[in-house]
């Protein structure tokens, strides 16, 4: 079965954008808990730090992650298609 690499890349970009927006919303709603969880994920104590969240930052970050995820999805599907006999 062949994957459409462009559609897979687009689906990856949209998925990353949705996850980014949900994460940003959680930071607004529960900043302390999200800071603690972020620290746990990178094995650091980040509780003394604070969030600097702006609308521009959310949009710019979402765009960056969408481009990265879309490109990675396209590469992944392209490699998969070459491996499938």
Over residues 29-53, the pLDDT tens digits come to 999 898 888 888 888 888 788 888 8
Please state, for a pLDDT cut of 70, what percent of the chain lies above it.
100
pTM for the complete prediction?
Answer: 0.84
Instruction: Kindly report the number of other CB atoms within 10 A of residue 11's CB atom.
Output: 15
Band (72; pLDDT cuts 50, 70, 90)? very high
The pLDDT value recorded for residue 82 is 95
């Amino acid at each position: 079965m062949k994957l459409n690499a462009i559609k897979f890349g687009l689906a990856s970009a949209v998925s990353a954008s949705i996850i980014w927006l949900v994460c940003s919303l959680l930071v607004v709603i529960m900043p302390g808990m999200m800071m603690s969880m972020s620290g746990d994920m990178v094995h650091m104590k980040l509780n003394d730090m604070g969030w600097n969240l702006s609308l521009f930052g959310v949009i710019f970050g979402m765009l960056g992650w969408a481009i990265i995820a879309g490109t990675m999805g396209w590469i992944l599907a392209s490699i998969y298609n070459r491996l499938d006999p």
